[in-house]
Structure 1
């Protein structure tokens, strides 16, 4: 890292900040320092340089947030530093650690297979239920797990605005002064070197107040929420008069999902939009003497079937799609059935793959956030879902939130974070290292998701009752009787653990 270059740029930014008489966005300091040339925003090297230089100025407290939290301004210490020959001549105590962390971030970003901008790191401090959260996003798969209420969906919703997802973040304030205040609760880092503050406004009453991002970057991708649509049969009202572009097809499908998420109603289901698009693709894919062939339609028709052959479970033995009387038929080795007749699990997989496939039509590398991908899936499908996604879409960066131990352990090369409460009752993130791939789901539930026991509550109660009836040093006859009772209850596998508990108690 060229510290002298950072110091020079920090001085230029500080001079730019001094020319503003009111708080403004930090990007404006960089624009002014570049004499109004905003082309630096498209240059990752200059983006990273400006982000680091501004970070240095904030750490030195030479620029500070405005009182209301909107924008930043030069501080009195910053004005005094304008005449200082070297901002960092006397090393701050934090400098060595800061350099090491910045170099690590840059190295991780350089190791990403794609140059497409994506999310690099998320930090949250003392906000809502969170005490301290630090998530470094993997280039391929990041998994967030934890109990209900731990904040998995909340963290995904923070990322939602990048993907046009209108997620709600409800807040309740008790400020009766009438003045709305804003403060930083964390930082979001990008692979192009940029970073943005996460700002939460504080006021009175309960309201929807998503975090504001002062320097949000463009990150291509999609957001898939936890609510899967219900499949019901709807015949096509009319045959499509034309084949639409992939972006339009995705927008039509996503709009149906968002309407339902917002509590609205629509005359058509997402699956209807999918059927409509596939019928149009089949109609215009190959042409005839009266209809000109449409290459884009052919690419969608054939390309999606290739994805399904990779993505759908092998046990289904999927062969191809067929249009019969304006209906989409799934043809397998031993059966044929209409699109709406598929099981809930297969329907969820079709929805998932259709959205990602359409997004991939215009850009190979992008980010996909999925909340609870295991919904509606049999355990066997939960086990194979993530590997199938990575195989079907190798250039996509997945960020998923899950309760399923089968999803948590599905892939070895991933960043897995468990969200759990500390002694203060607030949630912290923990990077889960060396996950045991041979662990049973019950063992994963206890070691990663933090369950005290994976036993049913009735079984746990019975076991505790039997344990309490044993002394500190039970005789051999008592242990034999204890084991027989466990066997009668179907809990004989718990005998070794019970013996260890007795030994520890003694």
Structure 2
């Protein structure tokens, strides 16, 4: 069985990182932490290892080095740049000086970025950025698809661009191509993948939405159904567009980056990196999206960033990598052995996401005002304070219940 995945990222003096080593498992990896801790930068640094055209998105120092350790069907590689390869450059300017291979490791082949992009094409990761909305585009017909080498080059050279919304795959064109291709005798893998995609769609959406593909008609407009109502691709909600974009991108990537005979999605391994997986998703959908992706792509490694406590609570053991807030030190980061399914939202927000205060300031002020009315022994004031508090909090709030009990006691004493 195929098994290709990223084992480790090493970064030194790139962006905010003094030195960081991140170890990944071969399944799901959730990068979590506060804003500014470098979650997206981890994905960007991985993308830099596969094509020199991606360097423009980062600033480097002369001591900068970065590389990714890869296990490609038990063949071990180290891909990136070693020390003294770069010069300190201005923002978004070329900084290449020489192409030194990464530090050697026994039983692992070291390749610099240029050699990797030219000669190491068996491992081609997919990067999916946070911009996953699908804009309207008129399709005029089927289009000629790129060759294998062209497709791999497109993915590697545009990986960082994809992270930052400067490049997107044409999902609509791919859907049209596949729809009219699958009835061909030679389209064996395409047909099997298409049927797998159509079968899986109903299990992806939340709330019994019955998300299904309906047809592509003469106007070449893909039509879907949600809650029993038909709609065009661009009419899908932001959440459905985001999830469909991820899934269709992966199908297209599997078919475009592998040789004939090795392009069945359910058997495909490799690495997909997604920025802000939770984007546009309802909390209930965030709780289920991990398992949905694993069901559709059982052998693919996912490295994703997230701010969602619901996503983290859906993670299994050895899947959450907690990023430190300060990147100016040396860190070795590994997936936590813990599961967080038993943690409540506040605990995940404060201890994993680095939220400093979970208190609602208005709520605190209203509670304090009610307590002051008790100290003042003011029945009318406390009654008014309770009404103000009840207007902003949950109907079953325990503090309101206690205050109402105290008010009843004060009224009873007043009447005696």
Please confirm whether the aligned pair reaches a TM-score higher than 0.5, indicating the same fold: yes
User: Which of 37, 40, 43 matches 1:153?
Assistant: 40
Residue equivalent to 2:237: 343
SS of corresponding position for 2:3: coil
The question of whether the paired residues in 2 share the 8 Å contact of 1:369 and 1:399 is answered with yes
Determine whether 1:190 maps to 2:70. yes
Q: How has the CA–CA distance of structure 1 residues 208 and 406 changed in structure 2, closer, same or farther, with 3 Å as cutoff?
A: farther
Per-residue deviation at 1:314?
Answer: 6.2
Cross-structure match for 2:16 = 129
| Contact 1:188–1:198 (8 Å) recurs in 2 | no
CA contact (8 A) 1:150 1:427 kept: no
SS in 1 for 2:37: coil
Structure 1 167/226 Cα, relative in aligned 2: closer, same or farther at 3 Å?
Answer: farther
**Residues of 2 paired with 1:450 and 1:352: CA distance?**
28
Q: What is the TM-score of this pair, normalised by structure 2?
A: 0.68
Q: Report what 1:359 is aligned to.
A: 253
Aligned: 1:436 with 2:340: yes
Q: In 2, distance between residues paired with 1:124 and 1:466? A: 52
2:174 corresponds to: 277
126 and 358 in structure 1: CA distance in 2 versus 1, 3 angstrom threshold: closer
Determine the structure 2 residue equivalent to 1:305: 198
**Of 320, 328, 331, which residue of structure 2 is paired with 1:416?**
320
Q: What is the aligned residue count? A: 358
From the superposition, tell whether residues 397 and 225 of structure 1 become closer, same or farther in structure 2 (CA, over 3 Å): same
Describe the superposition over 1:332-361 as per-residue Cα deviations: whole angstroms up to 9, x where unpaired: 562222112111110111110011112333
The offset of 1:115, in angstroms, is 5.4
1:321-380 Cα offsets, whole Å, 9 max, x none, are 312222211145622221121111101111100111123334511111111111122222
Two-structure CA RMSD over aligned residues (Å): 4.5
Decide whether the 8 Å contact of 1:486 with 1:495 is kept in 2. Answer: no
Q: CA deviation at 1:308?
A: 2.3
Which of 162, 166, 183 in structure 1 is aligned with 2:54?
Answer: 166
Q: How does 1:217-296 map to 2 (within 5 A)?
A: 218=120, 219-229=123-133, 231-237=134-140, 239-240=141-142, 270=169, 273-286=170-183, 294-296=187-189
Q: Which has the higher contact order (CA 8 A, sep 6+)?
A: 2
Contact 1:247–1:359 (CA under 8 A) maintained in structure 2: no
1:329 is aligned to 2:223: yes
Q: Which residue of 1 aligns with 2:409?
A: none
> Considering only CA atoms, is the larger Rg found in Structure 1 or Structure 2?
1
| Contact persistence 1:250–1:355 (CA under 8 A) | no
Structure 1 length normalisation: TM-score? Answer: 0.58
Residue aligning to 2:28: 141
Equivalent pair of 2:275/2:306 in contact (CA under 8 Å): yes
1:386 alignment partner in structure 2? 290
Aligned to 1:45: none
Alignment equivalent of 2:88, drawn from 192, 195, 203: 203
